[in-house]
């Protein structure tokens, strides 16, 4: 870089460091006369600071409280979900016509495709799970906080820079273009080889951002493992550790082995791109090496994303079935089994690469085997509901939606695990349908179940029940319309990752887009509902808003909530009319009756 | 580590440092990867300075300056490593090596100097 540029950068960097120093001085001052014991700064009636006050804002930037950090993760994941969702809406709009009539350029489509995948998996999926885990695990296992609160905060704050780097190509920076490598970043394309434009720094920035998000996930995982091992209250033993913490523990173990590997592979790729190393060059390790490294991370990653949502469903679904989780032990065992097996299946993503057929067959065997523990869980959820006293609240609906979509996603996965079938369906929309049934239909649904279920716990208020149900039905129908159309497109031979297609696929693509718009409407309703209810939803009227005590299914986090309510000075004005979602008694009549009439 | 949140009176639910650890890392990475000296130097200072701050806050070290001096060894080692790699590849890594080494030396000087001369400025945490 020429001298003026370096000078400018130096001045900017110097100014930035001075700003940091000034901020630190101010914070140190603030700390010397603000009592910090109770969570630092102004605390509103819901227990959270007022973000508009300067003191409140500093509080969010400096917090190491696991609940605050959980909320920050939640906000972050929501923003990423909206960004990734809007990206894919542009793509679906493009796919309403066979040519690139809408976006005008396949290049832009490819950029959106890449960014959508990475945003949803790394900036929405992993963080939304961390949001639940941070907020809830310490409460459930009776810990004061995470084992390493500051590392917890560092892990979160690495994510905003990661997002900026990953999206950098879309910002109006001269000569920086977005990556078009797809989320799998296959070499040689991603190594910038050839005459394409993937040697652009936009790709380097994305790789760096991804690397950062991996560092963040690894730090978080270490923290959860340490917390669950060492910070449990005395009465919480391994024998009665709850199912959600079990899945977080297993997930953290997977992260610990998978993400550092991704990080190393990314560094190798960056070195290939910038310093002429030959890790993935034909004359060096070869392009297939990338696929092995990537999928050795990538397959465990899909279970990293699905195990905690399974934990949420296993945790929430029994509460509205009026009975305990059926076969608790086997749900835990199957979690552990999936955790171990998930490292032995990665080459099922590479069946079509011409690897040794004997290797291929063994990966097929393990891939089919991993369906067994997944099925064990499914049967346990169904048997939990069997003959139960179901309450079809919004969280319960999302749990049932999860089970239903997971079955379709899992069964399509088993077919892909079979080599002959995969050779036909690989790189078609069938694969896209398969994994979206899981990442959207299952993982995101479980996230929504969790959000609605713990909304009263976090905010002390109720969401709007009717809107929540509208959200559910739009999503349940939208998911199946969109992704079943993709399964059919795959059967028809429509290849994935194309901005254009043959006219014969138009109808199914238009149906998929229709479903996607239902998802968009549902998503808008969700954001609106959460936002408005957080601010002005009716207050919950008891420490047990879901009336779990009646079926003896209460859990520790609600005891904490109850205790907090009782000690809180916030007066509950009983005059409000509360529309509880199948939970508390409303106006003298049990909310069950209210819930029954829909 | 025997960090015991909630038990030790040192424990607080707020700390200014994590945010800057997290900002320092990507800035340093960008600087080193693309050979942008100001970013490399500034990012490393921010990253390791904030870690030193955390070490002090946790009482793992008795003063921020000592932490800084200790961490400077890590940075110097990294700089030496890049210097060594420069000899093993065709790419020119010298600018990167010097900026990392320079930052390490700067940190060492600041650490030693601060420890000797700036005791009073150390905020009483
Ligand atoms: C449980 C959660 C699951 C998730 C989150 C998941 C996710 C994914 C994803 C993201 C892909 C696409 C990879 C790509 O870009 O090519 C994929 C492909 C695949 N999945 Fe799954 N999957 C899950 C379950 C399963 C199960 C239970 C099986 C089999 C027993 C399976 C077998 C496959 C196979 C064989 C492919 C490769 C298809 C191809 O590229 O030709 N998956 N899965
Ligand atoms: Cu897989």
- From atom 41 of ligand 1, which residue's Cα is the shortest distance away? A426
Whether the per-residue pLDDT at A127 is higher than 90: the answer is yes
Contact B91 A275 (CB under 8 A): yes
Tokens of A245: 């913490």
Closest-CA residue of chain B to A216: B22
Whether the per-residue pLDDT at B124 is higher than 80: the answer is no
Following CA atoms A8, A11, A14, A18 in sequence, which dihedral angle do they give, to the nearest 10 degrees? Answer: -130
- From atom 33 of ligand 1, which residue's Cα is the shortest distance away? A413
* C-alpha–C-alpha distance, residues A313 and A400, integer Å: 9
Tally Cβ neighbours within 10 Å of residue A172. Answer: 5
pLDDT tens figures, B64-114 = 888 999 999 999 999 999 999 988 888 889 999 999 999 999 999 999 998
How many angstroms separate the alpha carbon of residue A416 from the centre of ligand 2? 9
Ligand 1 pocket, Cβ-based, cut-off 6 angstroms: A 184, 302, 305-306, 348-349, 367, 370-371, 374, 410, 413-414, 416-417, 422, 426, 431, 434-435, 438-439
Which residues in chain B have their CB less than 8 angstroms from residue A9's CB? 36-39
Whether the per-residue pLDDT at A258 is higher than 60: the answer is yes
Percent of chain A surpassing pLDDT 70: 90
Residue A482 lies in a domain: yes
What is the crossing angle of helices A287-316 and A328-341, to 10°? 170
Q: Which of A379, A386, A380, A378 is nearest to A402 (CA)?
A: A378
Arithmetic mean of pLDDT over chain A? 89
Question: DSSP label at A40?
Answer: S
What is the crossing angle of helices A357-385 and A328-341, to 10°? 160
Q: Give residue ranges of B with CB < 8 Å to any A CB.
A: 1, 3, 5-7, 12-23, 25-27, 29-30, 33-39, 41-42, 45-46, 53-54, 57-58, 89-91, 93, 123
A63 pLDDT band, cuts 50/70/90, is confident
pLDDT at A582: 67
* C-alpha–C-alpha distance, residues B93 and B82, integer Å: 7
User: pTM for the complete prediction?
Assistant: 0.90
Expressed as residue numbers, the domain containing A457 is 392-541
What's the rounded mean pLDDT across residues A226-240? 93
Q: Which of A10, A17, A153 sits opposite B46 (nearest CB)?
A: A17
Counting from 1 in the atom list of ligand 1, the atom nearest the Cα of A368 is 30
- From atom 10 of ligand 1, which residue's Cα is the shortest distance away? A435
Q: ∠A573-A578-A581 over CA atoms, to 5°?
A: 140
Whether the per-residue pLDDT at A518 is higher than 60: the answer is yes
Which residues in chain B have their CB less than 8 angstroms from residue A10's CB? 37-38
Q: Which of A26, A30, A52 is nearest to A40 (CA)?
A: A30
Residue A500 lies in a domain: yes
Contact A157 B1 (CB under 8 A): no
Tokens of A376: 């064990």
Contact A64 B3 (CB under 8 A): no
For the complex shown, is ipTM > 0.85?
yes
pLDDT tens figures, A313-334 = 999 999 999 999 999 999 999 9
Which residues sit opposite A63 in a β-bridge? Answer: B14
A573 pLDDT band, cuts 50/70/90, is very low
Tally Cβ neighbours within 10 Å of residue A571. Answer: 8
Q: Which of A13, A39, A211 sits opposite B39 (nearest CB)?
A: A13
pLDDT at B3: 37
pLDDT tens figures, A344-390 = 999 999 999 988 999 999 999 999 999 999 999 999 999 999 999 99
pLDDT tens figures, A183-224 = 999 999 999 888 788 989 999 999 999 999 999 999 999 999
pLDDT at A203: 95
**Contact in structure between A270 and A204 (CB atoms under 8 Å):** yes
**Contact in structure between B39 and B28 (CB atoms under 8 Å):** yes
Domain count, chain A: 1
Closest-CA residue of chain B to A159: B22
Residue A568 lies in a domain: no
In chain A, the N- to C-terminal Cα span, in Å, equals 66
Residue A470 lies in a domain: yes
pLDDT at A166: 96
């Amino acid at each position: 870089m020429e001298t003026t540029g370096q000078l400018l950068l130096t001045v900017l960097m110097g100014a930035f460091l001075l700003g940091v120093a000034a901020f630190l001085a101010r914070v140190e001052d603030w700390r010397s006369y603000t009592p910090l014991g109770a969570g630092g700064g102004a605390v509103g009636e819901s227990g959270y600071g007022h973000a508009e006050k300067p003191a409140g804002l500093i509080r969010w930037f400096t917090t190491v409280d696991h609940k605050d950090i959980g909320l920050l993760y939640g906000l972050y994941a929501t923003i990423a979900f909206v960004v990734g969702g809007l990206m894919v809406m542009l793509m679906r709009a493009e796919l309403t016509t066979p040519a690139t009539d809408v976006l005008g350029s396949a290049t832009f489509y490819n950029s959106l495709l890449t960014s959508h995948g990475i945003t949803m998996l790394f900036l929405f999926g992993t963080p939304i799970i961390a949001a639940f885990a941070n907020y809830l695990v310490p409460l459930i296992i009776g810990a004061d906080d995470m084992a390493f609160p500051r590392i917890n905060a560092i892990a979160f704050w690495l994510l905003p820079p990661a997002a900026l780097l990953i999206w950098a190509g879309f910002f109006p920076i001269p000569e920086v273009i977005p990556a078009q490598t797809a989320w799998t970043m296959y070499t040689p394309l991603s190594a910038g080889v050839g005459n394409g434009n993937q040697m652009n720094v936009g790709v380097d920035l994305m790789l760096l951002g991804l690397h950062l998000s991996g560092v963040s996930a690894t730090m978080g995982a270490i923290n959860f493992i340490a917390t669950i091992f060492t910070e449990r209250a005395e009465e919480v033993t391994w024998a009665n550790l709850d199912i959600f913490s079990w899945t977080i523990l297993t997930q953290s173990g997977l992260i610990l082995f998978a993400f550092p590997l991704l990080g190393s592979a990314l560094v190798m790729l960056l070195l290939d791109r910038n310093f002429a190393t030959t890790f993935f060059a034909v004359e060096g390790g070869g392009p297939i090496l990338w696929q092995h490294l990537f999928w050795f991370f990538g397959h465990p990653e899909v279970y990293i994303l699905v195990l905690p949502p399974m934990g949420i469903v296993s945790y929430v679904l029994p509460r509205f079935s009026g009975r305990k989780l059926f076969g608790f032990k086997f749900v835990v065992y199957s979690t552990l089994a999936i955790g171990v097996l998930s490292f032995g299946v990665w080459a099922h993503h590479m069946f079509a690469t011409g690897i040794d057929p004997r290797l291929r067959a063994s990966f097929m065997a393990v891939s089919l085997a991993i369906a067994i523990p997944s099925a064990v869980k499914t049967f346990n959820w169904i048997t939990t509901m069997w003959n139960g006293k179901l309450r079809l609240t919004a969280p319960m609906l999302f749990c049932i939606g999860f089970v239903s979509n997971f079955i379709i996603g899992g069964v399509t996965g088993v077919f892909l695990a079979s080599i002959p079938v995969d050779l036909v369906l690989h790189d078609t929309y069938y694969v896209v349908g398969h994994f979206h049934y899981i990442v959207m239909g299952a993982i995101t649904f479980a996230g929504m179940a969790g959000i609605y279920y713990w909304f009263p716990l976090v905010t002390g208020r109720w969401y709007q029940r009717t809107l929540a149900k509208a959200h559910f039905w739009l999503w349940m129908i939208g998911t199946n319309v969109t992704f079943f159309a993709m399964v059919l497109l795959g059967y028809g031979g429509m290849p994935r990752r194309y901005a254009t297609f043959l006219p014969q696929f138009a109808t199914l693509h238009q149906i998929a887009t229709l479903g996607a718009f239902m998802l968009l409407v549902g998503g808008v309703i969700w954001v609106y509902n959460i936002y408005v209810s957080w601010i002005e939803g009716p207050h919950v009227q008891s420490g047990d808003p879901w009336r779990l005590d009646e079926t003896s299914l209460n859990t520790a986090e609600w005891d904490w909530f109850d205790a907090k309510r009782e000690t809180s000075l916030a007066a509950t004005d009983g005059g409000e009319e509360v529309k509880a979602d199948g939970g508390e008694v409303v106006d003298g009549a049990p909310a069950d009756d209210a819930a029954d009439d829909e | 580590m025997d960090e015991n949140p909630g038990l030790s009176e040192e424990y607080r639910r707020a700390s200014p440092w994590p945010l800057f650890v997290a900002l320092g890392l990507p800035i340093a990475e960008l600087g080193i990867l693309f050979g942008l000296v100001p970013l490399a130097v500034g990012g490393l200072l921010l990253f390791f300075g904030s870690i030193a701050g955390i070490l002090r806050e946790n009482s793992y070290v008795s003063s921020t300056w000592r932490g800084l001096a200790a961490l400077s060894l890590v940075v110097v080692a990294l700089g030496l490593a890049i210097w060594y790699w420069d000899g093993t590849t065709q790419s020119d890594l010298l600018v990167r090596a010097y900026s990392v080494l320079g930052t390490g030396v700067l940190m060492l000087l600041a650490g030693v100097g601060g420890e000797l001369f700036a005791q009073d400025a150390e905020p009483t945490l």
